[in-house]
Structure 1
Amino acid sequence: MLKLLLELIPTLALGLALGLRYPLLPGRIAPLLVRYGIPLGVAALLLRSGLNRDFLLAAAFALVLIASVMLLLHLLPPLRRLLPNGALQLGAATGNTTYFGIPVALALLPPPALGAAIAYDLAATLLSWTLGPRLLKSSSERRRSFRRDLSQSPATHGFLLAFVLQLTPWQEPLASLLWWPARLVLLLALLLVGMRIGVMQQQGELAEGLNWQSWRKLAPALSIKLLLLPLLFALITTWLGLPGLVADALVLQAAAPTAISVLLMAEAAGEGINDAAGLVLISTAMALVTVPLWWWLIN
C-alpha cells in the first residue's frame, strides 16, 4: 500500500506542476509515449504474466459487464435521470486503465495478475470507442473513427507485440530485459495524467465544472465509477468463483478514475464538456483514496 501511495501521489503531483508550468509539454511527450512507450510496457507486462486462459477469461468478463453497465446507464429511466447526458454515463463506466489502472496493478499485484488488468483495459478501450460516441450523440464521421482509434490504441499495439514475441524462443529473456523499462514507462504514463490535468486547469477548462452545483450533478457518476462499479465486479467475481488474482485485477481496474478519453469524446461531440472535465479531475483526486481502500477491502 505504501508503495502505491509513494508512486501515485508524487508522480501525479509532479505531473500537475509540470502541466501548469509547461502546458505544451504533454503534447510533446504524449505522442512518443503512446506510439512507443505504452505498447512496449504493455507487451513486457504480458510477457511476464503470459497470454493464457486467465487473460481470455478476464477480457470476456470485463467486456460483458462493462457493456451491460453502459447500456443500463443509458436505457433505464431512473439511471438516466441521475446521469442526464452521455458524458456522465460514459464517465461513470469508463476508467483510465491504461495510464492509471495498470500502474496501480503493477504496484499492488504480482506479475501473473497483470495480464487480467491489461485484458480489462483492452475490453474497456473497445467499448469506449464503440458505445461511447453513440452515448454522446456524435456524428457518423466520429463513429467511423472508432476503427482508427482502436487500431491506434497503445494497449492494442502492446497486445499484438506480446503475441508475436511470445511465439519466439526469446520470450523469457525479453520479459526479464523489459521489466524495469516497462515500470518506468508506466510511471511516465502517470506523470502524463498529472500533466494533462494541470493543462486543463491552466487553460480554465475545469473552472466551470467545480462549483457546488456541478459537484451535486457529478456525485452520482462519481459514486458509480469509484464505488458501485468496483463493488459490482467484486461481488460477481466472487459469486462466479474467478481465480483470486484475476478478481483482484478486475476490481482494481474497475476502481480506476474516469478516462481522459471521455473528455476528448465530449469535446468532439460538443456535449457535456464541463461535466467530463470535472469527472476526470475529481475522480482522479478521489481515486488516491478509494483505490487503496478497495485494495484493503479485497485483501
Structure 2
Amino acid sequence: MGPPVAASALALAAASGNCCQGEAMLLLVLELAPCLLGGIALGRLRPQLPEQLAPPLLRWGVPISLVGLLLKGGLHRSNLQAALFSLMLVGCGLLLTQRAPLLQNLLPLPSQQLGAVVGNTAYFGLPVALALLPPEALSFSITYDFVGTLVTWGLGPLLLDGQRAQPRQVLNTPVVRAVLVAVPLMASPWHAAMAAALWWPARLVLWLMLLLVGMRLARLLDQRLEADGLAPALLIKLLALPGAALLSCLALGWPAPLRDALVLQAAAPTAMSVLLLAEASQQKSREAIPAAQLVLWSTLLALLSVPLWWWLLNQPMLQPGLQATVAM
C-alpha cells in the first residue's frame, strides 16, 4: 500500500472511529444519566423507596440479570486471565494501602483504604460495559465484578472491624449466586434460547440498579457532605487504578475487548458495599461519613472520568489494526 492509499485508509478509519466513538458516548449518556437523575428525583420524593426496592432487586433481579449477561457473552479462556488479573490488581492495591507508609498517611481510615480500591462494578460498571463494549466483553466485566465482590465481602469486615467474614456472607452475594447458576446452564441445550429470553430483562435490571444508585445518592446529597480529605482516595480509584490496569494490559499484549473491560471496571467509582460495611461496623461513628463522602464524590466524578477513559482507549495509538495500516 503506497503512502497516498495509506493516508486515505487512515483518514477513513479515523473518521469511522470518531463516528462510532461519538455514538458510543451518546449511548453511555443515555444509559446512565436518565436513571441516575430519575433515581435522585425519586429518592427525594420517596426516601423510603430504596429500602423497599433493594431487597428484591438484590435477591432476584441482580442474579437473573448477571445470568442473562453471562449467557449472552459466554465464558472464554480469557476469563481465567481476567480473574487472575482482577485479583492481582485489587489485592495489590489493598496491600499497598495497608503497607506503604505514604499511602497509610494519605488514607488513614480503613474505609478510605478499601474504597480507593474496590469499585461499584455491578451497579455502575456493568451498565457502562453494556453501553460501550461488545457482548463478548461482558463476561470479562462480570469476572472483575465477581473477584471484586469476593475481596470486598471477604476482606472488608476484617479491615473495618477486625472480624473474619462468614463464608455464607460471601457466598450469598448476587454475583456469586449468578455464576453458580450460569455455568451449568451454559452447557445445556437451552443455552441460546435462555440467553435471548433473559437479554432484555437483564438490561431492565441494570437500569433499576442505576435508579437505586441515584436514590442512594439523593440521600447522600441531602447530608451536604464535604469533599475535604478525599483527593488521595479519589485519585487512586478514578485515575491510578484504571491507569495501572491499562498499562498492564498493554504490556501483556491483551486484545482490546479484554483490555477495555478491565480498564472500565477498574475505573468504576467506589462500591456501595463499602458504605454498607462501614455503617454496619463497630466503628460506624468514625467510618460511615468518610465512606459516604467517597461513594458520593467518586460516583459524581466518574460521570466525567469514565468517558475520558473510554476516549483514551479508542485513540489510534491503542488500536493495533490502525497501527498496522499506518506501518504499511
Q: Which of residues 59, 77, 86 in structure 1 aligns to 2:101?
A: 77
Where does structure 2 lack aligned partners over 5 or more consecutive residues? Answer: 1-24, 315-328
Task: Give runs of aligned pairs for residues 105-124 of structure 1, distance below 5 A.
Answer: 105-124=129-148
Does the CA contact (< 8 Å) of 1:74 and 1:135 recur in 2?
A: no
1:175 aligned to which of 191, 195, 199: 195
Distance across 1 between alignment mates of 2:83 and 2:251? 18
Residues in 1 aligned to 2:215 and 2:58: alpha-carbon distance in whole angstroms: 15
Q: Residue 44 of structure 1: CA displacement?
A: 0.8
For 2:267, the equivalent position in structure 1 comes to 255
**Worse overlay, 88-97 or 49-58:** 49-58
Please give the alpha-carbon distance, in whole angstroms, between the structure 2 residues aligned to 1:52 and 1:41: 19
Other-structure match for 2:37: 13
1:149-177 Cα distance to aligned partner (Å, 9 max, x none): 32121111111111121121010111111
Matching residue's letter, 1:66 = V
- Which residue of structure 2 aligns with residue 233 of structure 1? 245
Would you say 1:135 and 2:156 are equivalent positions? no
Indicate the residue corresponding to 1:25 in structure 2: 49
Inter-partner Cα distance in structure 2 for 1:95 and 1:233: 13
Does the 8 Å CA contact 1:20/1:201 hold for their aligned counterparts?
A: no
Q: Tell me which moved more, 111-120 or 24-33.
A: 24-33
Could you say which residue in structure 2 is the equivalent of 1:199?
A: 219
How much does 1:83 deviate?
0.6
Q: Among 178, 183, 208, which residue is 1:158 paired with? A: 178
- Alpha-carbon deviation of 1:62? 0.3
In the alignment, what sits opposite 1:294? 309
What secondary structure, in the 3-state scheme, does the structure 1 residue paired with 2:27 have?
helix
Q: Partners in 2 of 1:246 and 1:268 — Cα distance?
A: 35
Aligned equivalents of 1:157, 1:130: Cα separation in 2: 15
Structure 1 residue 259, shift from structure 2 partner? 0.6
Cα drift, residue 139 of structure 1: 4.5
CA contact (8 A) 2:153 2:165 kept: no
**Identity %, equivalent residues:** 52
- Residue 309 of structure 2 aligns with an amino acid whose one-letter code is W
Does residue 63 in structure 1 map to residue 87 in structure 2? yes
- Report runs of 4+ in structure 1 exceeding 2 Å deviation: 199-202
| In 1: Cα distance, 2:36 partner to 2:73 partner | 26
Q: What is the letter of the counterpart of residue 228 of structure 1?
A: A
> Matches of 1:190 and 1:235 in 2, distance apart?
29
Q: Which amino acid aligns with 1:245?
A: P
SS of 1:256's partner is coil
The answer to whether the 8 Å contact 1:11/1:187 transfers is yes
User: Which residue of 97, 100, 108 maps to 2:121?
Assistant: 97
Q: Distance in 2 between matches of 1:148 and 1:23?
A: 30
Which segments of 5 or more consecutive residues in structure 1 lack a partner in the other structure?
none
**Which whole-Å deviations, capped at 9, do the CAs of 1:71-106 have from their partners, x for residues lacking one?**
111111111011111111111001000111011000
Contact 1:255 1:287 in 2 (8 A): yes
Could you tell me how far 1:256 is from its partner in structure 2?
0.3
Residue 265 of structure 1: CA displacement? 1.1
Counterpart of 2:297?
282
Instruction: Show the counterpart of 1:51.
Output: 75
Do structure 1's residue 272 and structure 2's residue 287 form an aligned pair?
yes
CA distance in 2: counterparts of 1:41 and 1:278, whole angstroms? 29
Supply the RMSD in Å over aligned alpha carbons.
Answer: 1.2
Shift of the 139–69 alpha-carbon distance from structure 1 to 2, 3 Å rule, reads closer
Which position in structure 1 is the counterpart of 2:11? none
Paired residues of 2:129 and 2:141 also in contact (CA < 8 A): yes
Shift of residue 243 of structure 1?
2.1
The SS at the match of 2:278 is helix
SS at match of 1:23: coil
Q: 2:39, 2:47 → 1: CA distance?
A: 11
Amino acid corresponding to residue 179 of structure 1 in structure 2: W
Please identify the structure whose Cα radius of gyration is greater. 2
- Is residue 79–residue 139 contact of structure 2 (8 Å, CA) maintained in 1? yes
What is the TM-score with the length of structure 1 in the denominator? Answer: 0.93
Q: Distance between the aligned counterparts of 1:201 and 1:219, measured in 2?
A: 18
Query: Whole-Å Cα distance in 1 between the matches of residues 70 and 78 of structure 2?
Result: 12
